[in-house]
Amino acid sequence: MNIVLIGMNHKTAPLELREKLSLLGGNNVHPLEEMMKIPQIKEALYLATCNRVEALASAVDAKDTVERLKEFIFHHGNLPWEEIERCLYVHFDQQAVRHLFRVASSIDSLVMGEPQILGQVKEAYRRAVEHRTTGVILNRVVHHAFRVAKRVRTETEIAGNAVSVSFTAVELAKKIFGALKGKTILLIGAGEMSELAARHLIKYGVDRILIANRTYTRALEMARDFQGSAVEFARLGESLLNADIVISSTGAPGYVINAEMVAAALRRRKNRLLFLMDIAVPRDIDPAAGTIDNVYLYNIDHLQEIVDENLKSRRGEAEKAEAIIDEEVLKYKEWFSALEAVPTIVSLREKVEGIMKGELGRSLSWMQNLSAEQRKNVEILTSSILNKILHDPIVAIKEESQNGGALPYIAALRRLFRLDDG
């Protein structure tokens, strides 16, 4: 096929090395343009995310292209040669196609089943199309990768369950309340976990987000970012009156919400349901609060158990996804194998049709005595005979292409019919 893929990802290289390659574009170096300067490369695609940097190319000489790509990375990525050899992986032809299919389907992602990678592959392809660095081969393989990713997501449960603590907390809230629209959320703490939870909550349509933090100015900042309201930390007890869901993730050394605060709030809420998620270590919420009627309390161990179970489920689904990918790689191989026979089939048909038209032209002297309909019937008859003669050889050569054995037959056809003469 002469397809080559070279790259490094979260499994093979530390972040500081991946950063150097992902920032190539920021050093007045356009990766696609630089790749296309390599004479052996005919088509190119460059994918850079926080977890991987990969160059995909269709080339005249794939092995030589690998060395040129390494030199490109060495010079522009400012990476030591020994680091390049240690961190880079190289895939050729069928394995390169398989790797791209696995990447687009998120089988190769840090968090298996995550949806972002497909969008990142599409964006990389959009840039390649914009710079006109793709052609028949890469257009076909990338579009095929999109179809594979869709099959994997629709035919498996690879993305079916949450695998982060913050997302799991939100998913649990959805299961308990049915829907989050119209609910009020109290986030205690303004760190990364709270921000992640806030993003998921907004996605699910919560109406109101309250944010409490020991540093009130930080609560104000986060409230501004997420269009919520900051509340003073000293007034947590009052905030429990209005909240339906509380997600707490502070760095406090002890409980910031005790059972008495929760019990008092429940009485004033007239026992309206309260969902507490304590994702802090050490814990923020007194476990005794979970014994109060109409209070659901989950801590990080509860959530982690769900995350672990979901990850286990995704790994099981990965086996189904790999089977789909195997099937699709085979389809791509069949398409590509048939591609090598296409020019010969086209040349053969053109030559035979040329002979037929020439002979018909030389027969004009007697055909002129025929009616227009009769002349048309003669043309249809000769065309039909030629199609029947060509049918079996063309089918045979296509079959041999799919088995990888077409080259001797192609060579024989081109020689026997003099397809390369003038």
Q: Rounded to an integer, what distance in angstroms lies between the CA atom of residue 90 and that of residue 30?
A: 21
Q: Which residues pair with 246 in a beta bridge?
A: 186, 276
DSSP state of 6: E
Short-list 169, 122, 120, CA closest to 142: 122
| Burial of 111 per CB tally in 10 Å (0-12, 13-18, 19+) | middle
H helices of 56-92, in order, are 62-76, 81-87
Among this protein's residues, is 87 annotated catalytic?
no
The catalytically annotated residue of 15, 50, 330, 385 is 50
Q: What is the 3 state secondary structure string of 116-162?
A: HHHHHHHHHHHHHHHCCCCCHHHHHHHHHHHHHHHHHHHHCCCCCCC
Q: Rounded to an integer, what distance in angstroms lies between the CA atom of residue 39 and that of residue 222?
A: 51
Q: Rounded to an integer, what distance in angstroms lies between the CA atom of residue 134 and that of residue 130?
A: 9
Q: Which residues pair with 285 in a beta bridge?
A: 257
Strands laid side by side in the 295-299 sheet: 229-232, 208-213, 184-188, 245-248, 274-278, 295-299
DSSP state of 106: T
Q: Which residues 6+ apart lie within 8 Å of 28 measured at CB?
A: none
Q: Rounded to an integer, what distance in angstroms lies between the CA atom of residue 108 and that of residue 97?
A: 13
Q: Rounded to an integer, what distance in angstroms lies between the CA atom of residue 139 and that of residue 143?
A: 6
User: Which sequence positions are flagged as catalytic?
Assistant: 50
